[in-house]
Chain A
Amino acid sequence: GAGVSQSPRYKVAKRGQDVALRCDPISGHVSLFWYQQALGQGPEFLTYFQNEAQLDKSGLPSDRFFAERPEGSVSTLKIQRTQQEDSAVYLCASSLTGLTEAFFGQGTRLTVV
């Protein structure tokens, strides 16, 4: 596709449920980033991939959060045993090299009830 695609756009999860958020980066983009954005706040870094290698996961808030990009293209962010504080928009961005501008998907709005 022409841009970064994220799915689902909206997700409502019951507390304790596991969720999986998908990101399709721009074709050929080596770098992929995940961010969490709470309402009224700036994007908070979660994790970074260069191809299939997860080079930085220092932003993942707890061991309930897990991300993968097994073939260096599509990435999945998984949240286990969701809690209310996980409610946020999860943004994915890709960059051609990691040193150039990043392009964002529209995000997945997660609401934990």
Chain B
Amino acid sequence: RKEVEQDPGPFNVPEGATVAFNCTYSNSASQSFFWYRQDCRKEPKLLMSVYSSGNEDGRFTAQLNRASQYISLLIRDSKLSDSATYLCVVVFFSGNTPLVFGKGTRLSVIA
């Protein structure tokens, strides 16, 4: 069975803080991983892909731990504009539907 689990939060952090989210997945037959960001009343948008070697984009760092079957997203120096819901997505080799979304983690950055 393919499952993707996230802590729903909310994570309430002050501006400038560092915050990290984890996402666990249950099926080892997985190929690709992504983090999406969804603002209130908007559609999810791709934030970054997650590579085996890790991936950094400015204040955002994504990492993959295949042995423990989780991916993480680290946000440094949080900005008010980072407030959103962060969804992790796992692409599975097997099964009928390749893309499986987590339920999302809500982040609120407070001034």
Shortest distance between the CB of A88 and any CB in chain B (Å): 12
CA distance A55 to B89 in the complex (A): 19
Count how many chain B residues have C-beta atoms less than 8 Å from C-beta atoms of the other chain: 23
Q: Is A66 an interface position by the 8 A CB rule? A: no
Contacts A41-B103, A42-B87, A42-B104 given; indicate if A99 touches B98 (C-beta within 8 A). Answer: yes
Chain B 36-57: CB-based contact to A (< 8 A → 1; otherwise 0):
0000001111100100000000
Contacts A42-B104, A43-B87, A106-B43 given; indicate if A101 touches B97 (C-beta within 8 A). Answer: no
Among residues of A, the one whose C-beta sits closest to the C-beta of B91 is A99
User: In the complex the two chains form, is B99's CB within 8 Å of A102's CB?
Assistant: yes
Which residues of A lie under 8 Å from residue B103 when comparing CB positions?
41-42
CA distance A104 to B38 in the complex (A): 11
User: In the complex the two chains form, is B43's CB within 8 Å of A45's CB?
Assistant: no
Shortest distance between the CB of B88 and any CB in chain A (Å): 10
Q: Is A91 an interface position by the 8 A CB rule? A: yes
CA distance A107 to B45 in the complex (A): 12
CA distance A53 to B45 in the complex (A): 26
Which residues of B lie under 8 Å from residue A33 when comparing CB positions?
97, 99
Shortest distance between the CB of B89 and any CB in chain A (Å): 8
Shortest distance between the CB of B83 and any CB in chain A (Å): 15
Which residues of A lie under 8 Å from residue B102 when comparing CB positions?
42
Q: Is B34 an interface position by the 8 A CB rule? A: yes
CA distance A9 to B42 in the complex (A): 12
Which residue of B31, B45, B87, B100 contacts A99 across the interface (Cβ within 8 Å)?
A: B31
Which residues of A lie under 8 Å from residue B24 when comparing CB positions?
none
CA distance A58 to B89 in the complex (A): 18
CA distance A33 to B96 in the complex (A): 12
CA distance A103 to B104 in the complex (A): 17
A window 39-82: CB within 8 A of B: 41-43, 45, 48, 55-56, 58
Residue positions of B touching A, CB distance < 8 A: 31-32, 34, 42-46, 49, 85, 87, 89, 91, 95-104
Q: Which 7 A-B pairs have the closest CB atoms?
A: A42-B103, A56-B96, A104-B43, A42-B104, A56-B97, A48-B97, A55-B96
